[in-house]
Structure formats: structure tokens, C-alpha cells
Structure 1
Amino acid sequence: MDPDNFKDFKLVKKQQLSHNVAKFVFEFPTTTSVLGLPIGQHISSLDAQGEDVIKPYTPTTLDSDLGRFELVIKMYPQGRISHHFDHLAVKGPKVLTLLTQMFKYQPGQFRAFGMLAGGSGITPQVPSSKGDPRKPKDKTEVHLIYANVTYEDILLREELESLTANYPDQFKIYYVLNQPPETWDGASDIQILRCGPPPMNKAMAANLEDLGYSPEMQFQF
């Protein structure tokens, strides 16, 4: 990666994940090349008109994935990039920021991560969930709540569930849906217990319902 100059990569595969989200796979010049992007950082890209798009794209692959990198992107009808990919010019790394805070992944820095994601917001969470495969002693726990509208909208489901299978003591995921199917067994067996002053309870009730936790799944002391 070069933080100041754009490098061009060829699109080799596009996989539709849902009605408006697709996975784009870009190849490197050699099968052993890596992107060199630290966990918790992102890239910026050029749009079809050659203008710098100031929007973070976080690959869902790590440097252990040789010869390629993947982006999972939500496609909007008037999107200036997602409908025009045949190659991609990117530069980076750039640090993900939230207000004045910067996120840099340090294995073992925390005992556990609590993650909340909705829709395509899962993309920056996946690399952090995988951690650094070169540091197997990292025992950081990950607890992820992933909210979507329907079951079909859940992105990277196989990848996420492989993490729960391979690291059952470290990775826990809880799916919540706004429109669950009749046979849904995701978060229906979860009960949220709330206790606090009225303003807090009111705010938390609304936020939890937005995440897919119905009033019946919440109890206020």
C-alpha cells in the first residue's frame, strides 16, 4: 500500500451476496502479494470519473489471504463506484476514526470486544474478529450483535459462522432481524434486562428495538 499514490488492481470476480450488496475480488500482480493493510485501517479509491472518493472501504481479507483482496460493498442506484468496477485504484492505509479517536488493532490489548453491526457495517468488524493469524496466542473474546432486516440480508454468514465453529470460546455472534421468518431461531431466545433512570431506559428501549429486539424480548426492572 501507498498512502499518497493510487495503485491499480484488476477485478477478477464479483459475487452477489444480497439484492443490493456484492463481494468484489481484486487480484495482485503475483499470487504471493499482500495488501499490507493493518487491521482497523481502510483504503480510499478513485471513482469512475477519476475523482478521489473520501469514503472508507475496509477489505474483509487479511494479509494471510495471498494474491487478492476482497471488498463487500452496498450498491446504490446512483452509486459512482460500485456499478462501474472493472478495476480499482486505491491508496492507503488510512486509520478509521470516530470523532477524535483512532482505532488500531493491538492483539491482546483488551480482554474482549463488544461489536454492534448493521447491514454492510459488518465489513470493518470482520478483520478485527479474525485477529492476526500470525499471533495465535491472542485470546481476545469477540461478542458480535449483527442486525439486519431479513435473513437474506445477513452478509458473510458462512465466514462468520466458521469463526464460531473454529473459535467457540472466543467468538460469539447474535443475529437480530427486523423481519424474521416464522422458523427463526436467531435472537428470539435472548432476553434483555434493563435497569436505570427513565431517560436511559427510554433511549435504550428505542435503540434495542431498532436493533431488532422486540418489546417482548426486553424487561425493565
Structure 2
Amino acid sequence: MAQIKRLSQSLTTNTTVFSALAIFGIGAYCTRSYFLQSAHAESNECPVMFSGLGFTTLRVQSVKAVNHNTKRLVFEFPDQNARSGLSLTSALLTFSRPKGRWLPVIRPYTPISDLNHQGTLELMVKQYPNGKSSTHIHSLVPGDTLTFLTSLKGFSWKPNLHPQVYMIAGGAGITPIYQLIRGILDNPADKTKINLVFGVNTEQDLLLRDELEEYKKRFPGRFDYVYTVSRLEEEKGGLKKGYVTEELLKGVLNGEKDTKVFVCGPPAMEASLTGSKGILARLGYNKGQVYKF
């Protein structure tokens, strides 16, 4: 994600690059649209919305507030038989021009909906203070549109790649983690066991809590989680008080050799976990065992 941040900063300060990208994107969009329409007309396969670089504009179908700074937005595909075409752990690069800005803002967001679902796609977006893209997206209402530039592939997951995986999420970093969780558990051929550690500031920040708890009910022997809340008056109902610390992780991670640890959260949390002297290294996990979204 650091590379994406550098990309967006570069684009906002270099109009020449932006112009070239826009021209290329429009050309790619026209070419892609032509071939998609032709291919769909000649086969019975569902059309794919995101198959390469090119502007794709989708209409907002619904908006739901999750808490004081997070919303879930459902976008509808022009063809209700279409599917996203995204692979597991993929993100989408959004392209928007917030009010009062001449140059656009480009930011990645991870869908939380089933990537094979036909007709719609759902994003969950947290609004950050002075966040140009997130503030713009939070202003959208049903009927408005949002443009997507391209898809970004993440970790290449294959069913049963590891018998056990650990996932550590902080705040809105749950979105790529959740996409991988549902991709594994909704696949009957995948028997991977998952343990999640989810750290947030307040109980209201436990995004996708209902969905995670439903998965635990459906897969009691394969999926489990630990919630830790830093601003909690007292521990209750399975909620731990505090941060994602080395002591906490010692009670969850077992140090297996054939396993993978996925991490996504605020920069400070990721810095404390990853790296040659981070918590995961001290717990015995080598660089190849840790993947940071």
C-alpha cells in the first residue's frame, strides 16, 4: 500500500503524467468495452467489469452508515449479469475529483462483497480527517457515480496453501483481511484454519463484527478471533482491553513453520509488527511468512 500512496502523491503533483494516464485510460476503456461487449455477445459467460486498465464508472445503489466515520456503499453494474472479475485479495483504484480540486485523487479500496456476486459490488470506506478521497466518497448518495481506474492484485492465495493462517487487522485494515477470510471459508474445497486478531480504538470500530461472528458460528473448528479495544472501560463479552501487543499475540500465534501471517492496519501498528526487529520476528516468524497488505 506504500507504493500506492507514493503513486497517488506523484499523480497529484505532475499534470503531465496525469494527462498521459487519462488519455491512455480512456483509450484502454474504449478498447476494453468493445472487446467485452463482443465477447459477451458471442458466449454465455458472465461479462467481467474489471479486466485491465481503463475507466469504469459505477452508480451508487445504496449507502449505509456503520458508525460515526464509516460507510458501506453498494455499486451496481450496468449489466446485472456481470461479475467483478477480481481475484481474491484484490483492491480497486478509485479515481475521483473532490469538490474544489482541479486535480483528481487516486486511492485504493478493497471490496468486502463476494467477488463472484453478479450485479453489484460493495465497499466499506472510513472517512479520515482531511481525507480527500474518503470525504468525497462519504458525500455520495444513491444515484451518484464513482470511477474506478484499475484493479490491484494482492497476495496470490490458493486453496489449502497453508493448513493454518493468522490475520492481524487494525481499524479499517479489516477490509482486505475480511475479503481473504470469506474467500477461504466460502470455498468448500479450502480447509484452511484461520485465527484473527482485530485491534480497534472503540467497540463501535469493530467493523464487520456481525459477519465475523456468523463465520465463527458456521466454522467453529476452523475460524476464531480475538477482539482487543484500546479505549474500553472494562473487559466484557469477549472483548479484551488494550492494543495488539507481543504478549497478546503470544497467546494466539503458535509459531508453526508451515503458516502465514497477514497484516493490515495503521502504519504505527504495522511498523511494530513487521520488520527485522518487529514483534512477529521476535515470535519466530521469518520475513517470508509475513505478508503486509
Alignment TM-score, normalising by the size of structure 1:
0.76
Higher share in strand? 1
2-structure distance, mates of 1:168, 1:50:
49
Aligned to 2:104: 51
Does the alignment pair 1:10 with 2:63? Answer: no
Aligned to 2:191: 139
Using a 3 Å threshold, how does the CA distance of structure 1 residues 77 and 135 change in structure 2: closer, same or farther? closer
Using a 3 Å threshold, how does the CA distance of structure 1 residues 157 and 134 change in structure 2: closer, same or farther? closer
Q: Deviation at 1:157?
A: 0.8
Aligned to 2:165: 113
- Runs of 4+ in structure 1 over 4 Å off: 191-194
Higher share in helix? 2
Aligned to 2:215: 163
State the Cα RMSD in Å: 2.6
Aligned length: 190
Using a 3 Å threshold, how does the CA distance of structure 1 residues 160 and 78 change in structure 2: closer, same or farther? same
Contact 1:113 1:142 in 2 (8 A): yes
Q: Deviation at 1:167?
A: 1.3
Query: Structure 2: which amino acid aligns with 1:89?
Result: T
Comparing both chains, which one has the higher relative contact order based on Cα–Cα distances under 8 Å and sequence gaps of 6 or more? 1
Percent identity of the aligned residues?
Answer: 29
Q: Deviation at 1:37?
A: 0.7
1-structure distance, mates of 2:118, 2:233:
38
Using a 3 Å threshold, how does the CA distance of structure 1 residues 33 and 120 change in structure 2: closer, same or farther? same
Larger Rg: 2
Contact 1:38 1:93 in 2 (8 A): no
Does the alignment pair 1:185 with 2:237? Answer: yes
Q: Deviation at 1:38?
A: 0.4
Contact 2:105 2:132 in 1 (8 A): no
Alignment TM-score, normalising by the size of structure 2:
0.59
Gaps of 5+ in 2: 1-49, 242-246, 252-276, 283-293
Aligned to 2:89: 40
Contact 2:184 2:192 in 1 (8 A): no
Aligned to 2:31: none
